[in-house]
């Protein structure tokens, strides 16, 4: 029964993630609420100057602007290009590294992203939590 409950929570989070990206591009913001970029519903990541930084493919592949594979997402787990697990996202929005150490939290209600010491890293409302984690915690698109 416990496994079924966990499955239902993961399914509900995955459904929320999918529905959150059904619209147009959503703004990524820094801790001061300044726009630092956008992630479109189709997975294209752009910076504040609208230059493409990379993308999220429908199959979970994460790519840089040249199309090189940076990693992949599979069931709220984040892997690098070599297939090593970098971390994962729990159903409550907490993000952990590969050794289960807390990296931070993504608020499922307002999109506030905080680090392990509760300092605000930014805001990303209406964007899939796995995409937010790749951007803020796993640095897939840092310039």
pLDDT in tens, the chain (143 residues): 666 555 545 555 554 444 443 346 799 999 999 999 999 999 999 999 999 999 999 999 999 999 999 999 999 999 999 999 999 999 999 999 999 999 999 999 999 999 999 999 999 999 999 999 999 999 898 76
pLDDT, residue 25, reads: 74
In CATH, what class is 2-136? mainly beta
pLDDT, residue 3, reads: 63
pLDDT, residue 142, reads: 79
Q: Alpha carbon of 76 to those of 35, 50, 87: distances in Å? A: 25, 27, 9
Domain boundaries, the chain: 2-136
Q: In whole angstroms, what is the distance from residue 77 CA to residue 14 CA?
A: 12
Q: In whole angstroms, what is the distance from residue 19 CA to residue 29 CA?
A: 20
Q: Kindly state the DSSP code that residue 127 receives in the 8-state scheme.
A: S
11 Cβ contact list (under 8 Å, min separation 6): none
Q: pTM surpassing 0.75?
A: yes
């Amino acid at each position: 029964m416990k496994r079924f409950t966990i499955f239902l929570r993961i399914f509900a989070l995955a459904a929320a993630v999918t529905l959150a990206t059904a619209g147009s591009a959503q703004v990524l913001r820094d801790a001061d609420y300044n726009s630092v970029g956008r992630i479109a519903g189709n997975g294209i990541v752009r910076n504040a100057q609208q230059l493409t930084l990379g993308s999220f493919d429908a199959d979970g592949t994460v790519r840089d602007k040249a199309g090189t594979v940076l990693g992949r997402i599979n069931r709220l787990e984040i892997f690098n290009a070599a297939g090593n697990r970098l971390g994962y996202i729990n159903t409550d929005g907490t993000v952990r590294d590969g050794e289960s150490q807390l990296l931070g939290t993504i608020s499922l209600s307002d999109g506030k992203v905080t680090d392990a010491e509760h300092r605000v890293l930014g805001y990303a409302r209406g964007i899939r939590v796995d995409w937010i984690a790749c951007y803020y915690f796993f640095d897939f698109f840092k310039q």
